[in-house]
Homo-oligomer: A and B are copies of this chain.
Amino acid sequence: MDLFIGLDLGGTWLKYGLGDGDGRLLTRGKRPSEGQRGREAIFGSMINAVKELLGVAKEWGEVRAIGVGSPGLVDYQRGILMGGAPNLPGWEGADIRGVLEREFGIPTFADNDANVMALAEARLGAAREAKQAIFLTLGTGIGGGILIDGQLYRGAWFAGAELGHTVIKFDGRPCNCGNVGCVEQYASAPGMIRTYWEILAAKGMSPPAGLTTEQIFARAEQGEVEARKAIEDTAYYLGVALASFVNIFNPEVIVIGGGVAEAGDEFIRMAEQVAVRLAQDVATRGLRVVRASMGNEAGTVGAILLAVESYATLVSG
């Protein structure tokens, strides 16, 4: 049987799995990514994960390719990290393909983690069957993915699909990226928390320390109006960005994942209503806005699918 390895690199954990040509997981694991200890340590963790999976793979068949999802801007063609991974110091410039291919002699493909998750949702998850789709992951930041005619769209130099850095208010909150008013500053977890803080501060109330979005959702559930307003405002900001994406892409489906979205369908429904009200009517008629369905395995399964599809392209010429 043809087997494929997927590595899902994060700031804290490296998740990994072995799958078949349909992206079915045969086994999976997780170990510290060593993200704070520099490039060599991260590669060490990845190499140990691959060795472990190669050991398991022997009884099943042969590993044809390795797929890697990494934070930051990844040059998909060369498999090199071009930048934008602040949680992995020293990782910029990492030659993911080169190092793993030299180590294992197995074709290796790397892509942005948001693209890899989008691939999992596109092939096996919430956007299955869709040709034109948009993917957002609302977490510490906002990751983006774009499906065009059934394929991931990466841009001229693989730096596209940074949907979190779409401006929704040019005189708004400064963004880490150097721009101002990116939707990431409004609809990510820190964005929602900041909105909640501002609502409390405007009423002379002092915000609690170490707040999470889960707590904001719980407070709203208990009837706290400030928490409720923070959620509504965040859904509105997200809806504004979705309206722009609808006008730009006219997608069949928008898939929303990540911690903020997992809090419940109601948040997604609120954002959808805003988007449908603000976007051009014709573009919203068949639109579906849905939660991501692949859960915690999206990154690993997506990395396996990246390996499967990239390998198929490689061998077909």
In the complex, whether A156 has a CB less than 8 A from a CB of chain B is yes
Can you spell out 18 A-B residue pairs with CB atoms less than 8 angstroms apart?
A73-B282, A83-B281, A132-B160, A155-B283, A156-B252, A157-B250, A157-B282, A160-B249, A160-B283, A162-B280, A162-B283, A166-B166, A167-B240, A168-B168, A169-B181, A170-B237, A179-B243, A179-B278
Instruction: Find chain B residues with CB under 8 A from A303 CB.
Output: none
Interface assignment of A158: CB less than 8 Å from any CB of chain B: yes
Residue A154 is within 8 A (CB to CB) of chain B in the complex: yes
Q: Could you list 10 further interchain pairs (A-B, Cβ under 8 angstroms) beyond the known A166-B244, A248-B248?
A: A83-B281, A83-B282, A84-B282, A148-B153, A166-B166, A168-B169, A169-B181, A170-B237, A170-B240, A179-B243
A84: which B residues are within 8 A, CB to CB?
280, 282
**A143-196, CB < 8 A from B:** 144, 146, 148, 153-163, 165-172, 177-181
Contact A155 to B132, CB < 8 A, known contacts A73-B282, A161-B248: yes
Contact with B along A218-262 (1 / 0, CB 8 A): 000000000000000000110011011001111110000000000
CA A304 – CA B60 in complex, angstroms?
A: 57
Check if A7 is an interface residue, CB within 8 A of chain B: no
Tell me which residues across on chain B come within 8 A of A172, comparing CB atoms: 169
Closest-CB distance, A157 to chain B (whole angstroms)? 6
Quick check: A156 and B251 within 8 Å, CB to CB? yes
Cβ-based interface call for A96 (8 A): no
Closest B residue to A164 by beta carbon equals B247
CB distance from A312 to the nearest CB of B (A): 18
Within 8 A of B (CB), among A28-70: none
Question: Which single residue of chain B is at the shortest CB-CB distance from A180?
Answer: B278
A73 to B170: give the CA distance in the assembly, Å.
Answer: 28
Q: How far, in Å, is A223 (CB) from chain B's closest CB?
A: 28
Report if A269 contacts B (CB, 8 A). no
Looking at the assembled complex, report how far the CB atom of A148 sits from the nearest CB atom of chain B, in whole angstroms: 6
Are the C-beta atoms of A163 and B248 separated by less than 8 Å?
Answer: yes
Give Cα A249 to B84, complex, Å.
Answer: 17
Nearest-neighbour CB distance to chain B for A73, whole angstroms, equals 5
Chain B nearest CB: distance from A19 CB in Å? Answer: 28
A131: CB under 8 A from chain B?
yes
The CA-CA distance from A283 to B73 in the complex, in Å, is 10
A203 at the interface (CB under 8 A from B): no
Q: Does A138 contact B (CB under 8 A)?
A: no
Contacts of A166 in B (CB 8 A): 166, 244, 247-248
Q: Once the chains bind, are B244 and A165 in contact (CB under 8 Å)?
A: yes
